[in-house]
């Protein structure tokens, strides 16, 4: 099945400007936005401050939340200031909605207005900001034979940051879609010469399913009969003209959201199927060993030492399977957000020291040695069980993939606001083209274990998710002395 990508490359403008003189509101917005979206906020507490910020850094912002009444701009001057910057979507944050604001909303380039009342409106702003950001990656086609209607719809769509393409007839629309198969929403006028909106809907539906291209019929006549006819021809939705900008925005944004959610579901389903296939494949091998060994054990006249070697084989294969299942359960629990990080104040130097002692025996079996450089103490708020799991994985990988008699260097460094743990080995390292795959699920790469140890390709994927749950970072770089260097940074 064709999967349509959403989101596009990260954009340069990824900041939100908050223009609000009331400190409490300003900070509440900053907190809610930074907690719930990937965007950073910059606060301005007056019109003068907003002017200065925009004069120097307008290109950093894609959106602004604006208080209408500032001490040095009591009549919405800050809105006009932001409107002068076409790349910034203005959201008006106001104590009350006056008739003149509603007028402005129709005639000026305002993305939306939100009342200053209650937490639910702050949550609305947060989701609106995310929506406005995502819209920039959504292509919308407007098909109307009237130039005025096309331009009016374009203006409203651009205000919501959609990318807009225009066509003045059904035939032109089909060729625009042909040239831009990544168009996600089409707004079709009902009455056009030659090919009307219904015929165009049917033609588009032959090529694109409802979850690949959202079609919205638009008409100023005909009412319910037209709307039913559009839906029966394959449209997702219908808008009766004249519409209020609020109604138009809600419908468009809702449909864009529907597409994104559908895409995410499809992607998750494909990933699940892939994981299931790989898991079944990996579980099959030890199960086959157990089944064959059990068949052999049923044979008569087996010598006692053969019997015990078969039982040993069953034991080892069961353990491998259990370890794999534990990893799979971990991945599934983490993916579905069921893993809770229970932080407490921990001495990372102590924790690392203990794990190094624990892995000493495994290292000695391969004649390897640890070299460590740890501070006397390293206080950090982490979930000790989970961070131990991450360190175990890095240490056991270093032992698994390194040659006999090599050395593993473990360091813990103070980076002022974070701790940096690194594990360097003298193994084969990771090939350049494989580095981006390292932390994905079931990634068994070119480096092979050096003493027949088992590999599932799940360990680093689990580590990444656990470190990220601590708001930390895990990565790989080549070890200057040859081999691998895995590092974790954990915020203090």
| 397 binding ligand ADP? (CB under 6 A) | yes
The CB-of-437 to ligand ADP minimum distance in angstroms stands at 8
| 422 binding ligand ADP? (CB under 6 A) | no
Where in 377-396 is the site for ligand ADP (CB under 6 A)? 393
The span from the CA of 183 to the CA of 165, in Å, is 9
Options 124-132, 168-176, 301-309, 449-457: segment touching ligand ADP (CB under 6 A): 449-457
Backbone CA torsion sign across 433, 430, 5, 155: negative
Asked if 413 contacts 468 with a C-beta cutoff of 8 angstroms, the reply is no
Dmax over Cα atoms in the chain, in whole Å? 99
Radius of gyration for the chain, computed over Cα atoms and rounded to the nearest angstrom: 30
| 479 binding ligand ADP? (CB under 6 A) | no
What number of other Cβ atoms are within 10 A of residue 31's Cβ? 12
Asked if 101 contacts 67 with a C-beta cutoff of 8 angstroms, the reply is no
Asked if 57 contacts 12 with a C-beta cutoff of 8 angstroms, the reply is no
Nearer to ligand ADP, 143 or 387 (CB): 387
| 398 binding ligand ADP? (CB under 6 A) | yes
CA–centroid distance for 425 within its chain: 32
> Which of 455, 473, 475, 478: binder of ligand ADP (CB under 6 A)?
455
Options 39-47, 237-245, 260-268, 452-460: segment touching ligand ADP (CB under 6 A): 452-460
**Residue window 335-354: x/- pattern of binding to ligand ADP, with contact defined by CB under 6 A:** --------------------
Asked if 94 contacts 68 with a C-beta cutoff of 8 angstroms, the reply is yes
| 94 binding ligand ADP? (CB under 6 A) | no
Which residues, listed in sequence order, are joined to residue 347 by a DSSP beta bridge?
379
| 458 binding ligand ADP? (CB under 6 A) | yes
The CB-of-445 to ligand ADP minimum distance in angstroms stands at 3
What is the full DSSP assignment across 370-385? EEEE--S--EEEE-HH
DSSP for residue 403:
P
> Which of 401, 406, 422, 490: binder of ligand ADP (CB under 6 A)?
401
Nearer to ligand ADP, 137 or 408 (CB): 408
Phi and psi angles of residue 8, each rounded to the nearest 5 degrees, phi first: 65, -175
Q: Find, among 178, 176, 139, 146, the residue nearest to 160 by Cα.
A: 139
The CB-of-228 to ligand ADP minimum distance in angstroms stands at 54
Nearer to ligand ADP, 159 or 393 (CB): 393
| 426 binding ligand ADP? (CB under 6 A) | no
Options 16-24, 189-197, 284-292, 454-462: segment touching ligand ADP (CB under 6 A): 454-462
Asked if 251 contacts 241 with a C-beta cutoff of 8 angstroms, the reply is no
Q: Count interface residues toward ligand ADP (CB under 6 A).
A: 21
| 428 binding ligand ADP? (CB under 6 A) | yes
Structure tokens at 22: 């009331």
| 475 binding ligand ADP? (CB under 6 A) | no
Residue 491 C-beta-side C-alpha neighbours within 13 Å: 7
**Residue whose structure tokens are 């087996």:** 302
| 286 binding ligand ADP? (CB under 6 A) | no
> Which of 76, 286, 459, 472: binder of ligand ADP (CB under 6 A)?
459
Binding site for ligand ADP (CB under 6 A): 393, 397-398, 401, 425, 427-428, 430, 438, 443-445, 447, 455-461, 484
């Amino acid at each position: 099945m064709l999967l349509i990508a959403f989101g596009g490359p990260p954009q340069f403008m990824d900041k939100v400007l908050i223009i609000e003189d009331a400190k409490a509101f300003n900070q509440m917005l900053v907190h809610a936005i930074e907690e719930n979206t990937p965007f950073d906020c910059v606060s301005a507490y007056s019109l003068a401050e907003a002017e200065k910020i925009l004069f120097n850094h307008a290109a950093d912002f894609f959106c602004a939340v604006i208080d209408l009444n500032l001490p040095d701009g009591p009549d919405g001057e800050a809105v006009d200031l932001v409107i002068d910057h076409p790349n910034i979507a203005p959201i008006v944050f106001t104590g009350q909605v006056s008739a003149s604001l509603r007028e402005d909303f129709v005639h000026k380039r305002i993305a939306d207005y939100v009342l200053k009342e209650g937490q639910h409106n702050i949550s609305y702003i947060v989701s609106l900001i995310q929506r406005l950001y995502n819209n920039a990656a959504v292509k919308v086609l407007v098909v109307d034979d009237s130039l005025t209607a096309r331009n009016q719809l374009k203006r409203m769509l651009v205000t919501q940051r959609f990318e807009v393409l225009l066509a003045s007839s059904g035939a032109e629309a089909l060729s625009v879609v042909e040239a831009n198969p990544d168009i996600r929403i089409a707004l079709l006028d009902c009455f056009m010469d030659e090919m009307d909106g219904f015929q165009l809907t049917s033609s588009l539906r032959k090529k694109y399913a409802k979850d690949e291209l959202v079609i919205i019929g638009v008409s100023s006549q005909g009412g319910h009969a037209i709307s039913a006819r559009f839906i029966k021809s394959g449209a997702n939705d219908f808008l009766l003209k004249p519409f209020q900008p609020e109604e138009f925005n809600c419908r468009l944004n809702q449909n864009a959201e529907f597409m994104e959610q559908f895409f995410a579901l499809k992607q998750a389903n494909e990933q699940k199927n892939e994981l299931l296939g790989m898991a079944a494949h990996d579980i099959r091998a030890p199960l086959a060993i157990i089944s064959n060994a059990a068949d052999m054990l049923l044979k008569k006249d087996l010598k006692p030492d053969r019997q015990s070697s078969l039982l040993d084989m069953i034991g080892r294969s069961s353990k491998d399977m259990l370890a794999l299942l534990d990893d799979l359960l971990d991945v599934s629990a983490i993916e579905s957000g069921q893993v809770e990080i229970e932080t407490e104040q921990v001495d990372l130097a102590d924790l690392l020291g203990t794990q190094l002692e624990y892995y000493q025996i495994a290292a000695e079996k391969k004649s390897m040695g640890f070299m460590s450089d740890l501070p006397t103490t390293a206080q950090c708020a982490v979930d000790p069980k989970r961070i131990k799991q991450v360190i175990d994985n890095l240490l056991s990988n270093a032992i698994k993939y390194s040659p006999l008699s090599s050395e593993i260097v473990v360091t813990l460094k103070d980076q002022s606001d974070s701790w940096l743990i690194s594990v360097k080995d003298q193994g084969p390292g990771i090939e350049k083209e494989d580095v981006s795959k390292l932390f994905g699920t079931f990634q068994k790469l070119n480096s092979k274990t050096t003493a027949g140890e088992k590999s599932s390709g799940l360990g680093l994927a689990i580590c990444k998710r656990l470190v990220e749950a601590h708001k930390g970072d895990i990565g790989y770089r080549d070890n200057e002395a040859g081999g691998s260097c895995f590092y974790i940074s954990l915020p203090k």
